[in-house]
């Protein structure tokens, strides 16, 4: 069952192997297994979401809900997996809009969880993220076969960080193939406000 699969994936991130590099590698392998068009840019986005949270996306509640409803109404396809961890720490969880479409949660529930998750988000990106990215990049470089567009993406990400910028979108390749439509929710908020609705 898809929910049980993702519960297992989340548990792996929370209680998996103790070695950070092993966790990073396993997380990247999991991303590519679920989404074969994953590029280094998409790995960066997922790991940065897990590190930083939702603050850079935050607006007033009604605007957030309105855009969720708009995105849900206009999505040409939705991921069937209801939720999955971001990055390798699992501090934030991607909740896919398919959970709303299938009637498991409402857009109000997701909106409120998203807004609450801002309390757990970073106020600003720091040099710590740059160092953490180097650890992630080191593990991504070991992937066989290499992640799509690895060299070009690594150069683009380095340039972004050199300019003191941090936020990236999904790659066009990933977006075309996998139709990402989700909101990221802090693990604590997710477990309290959303997970009970998604358990059979």
Q: What is the pLDDT of residues 12-37, one digit of tens each?
A: 444 444 588 999 999 999 999 999 99
Cα-atom radius of gyration of the chain, to the nearest Å?
16
Q: What is the pLDDT of residue 191?
A: 97
Domain that holds residue 106: 2-198
Residue whose C-alpha is closest to residue 69's, from 194, 190, 183: 183
Q: In whole angstroms, give the CA distance from residue 6 to residue 82.
A: 8
Q: pLDDT band for position 56 (50/70/90)? A: low
Q: What is the pLDDT of residue 16?
A: 46
C-alpha dist (Å) from residue 80 to 135, 146, 161, 195: 31, 26, 33, 16
What mean pLDDT comes out for the span 109-121? Answer: 93
Instruction: Give per-residue pLDDT as tens, 141-200.
Output: 999 999 989 999 999 999 999 998 998 999 999 999 999 999 999 999 999 999 999 997
- CA angle 74–188–16, rounded 5-degree value: 100
- Report cis status (omega within 30 of 0) of the bond before 145: yes
Q: pLDDT band for position 58 (50/70/90)? A: low
E runs forming strands in 77-119: 83-85, 92-96
Domain count, the chain: 1
The model carries a pTM of 0.88
């Amino acid at each position: 069952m898809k929910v049980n699969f993702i519960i297992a994936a989340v548990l792996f991130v929370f209680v998996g192997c103790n070695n950070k590099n092993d966790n990073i590698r396993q997380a990247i392998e999991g991303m590519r297994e679920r989404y074969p068009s994953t590029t280094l840019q998409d790995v960066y986005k997922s790991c940065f979401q897990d590190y930083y949270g939702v603050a850079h996306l935050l607006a007033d509640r009604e605007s957030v809900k309105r855009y969720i409803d708009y995105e849900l109404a206009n999505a040409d396809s939705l991921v069937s997996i209801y939720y999955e961890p971001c990055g390798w720490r699992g501090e934030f969880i991607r909740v896919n809009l398919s959970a709303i479409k299938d009637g498991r949660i409402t857009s109000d529930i997701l909106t409120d969880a998203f807004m609450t998750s801002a309390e757990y988000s970073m106020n600003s990106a720091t040099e710590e993220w740059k160092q953490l990215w180097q650890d992630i990049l080191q593990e991504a470089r070991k992937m066989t076969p290499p992640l799509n567009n690895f060299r070009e993406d690594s150069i683009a990400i380095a340039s972004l960080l050199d300019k003191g910028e941090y936020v990236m979108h999904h790659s066009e390749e990933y977006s075309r193939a996998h139709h990402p439509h989700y909101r990221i929710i802090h693990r604590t908020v997710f477990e309290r406000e959303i997970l009970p609705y998604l358990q059979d």
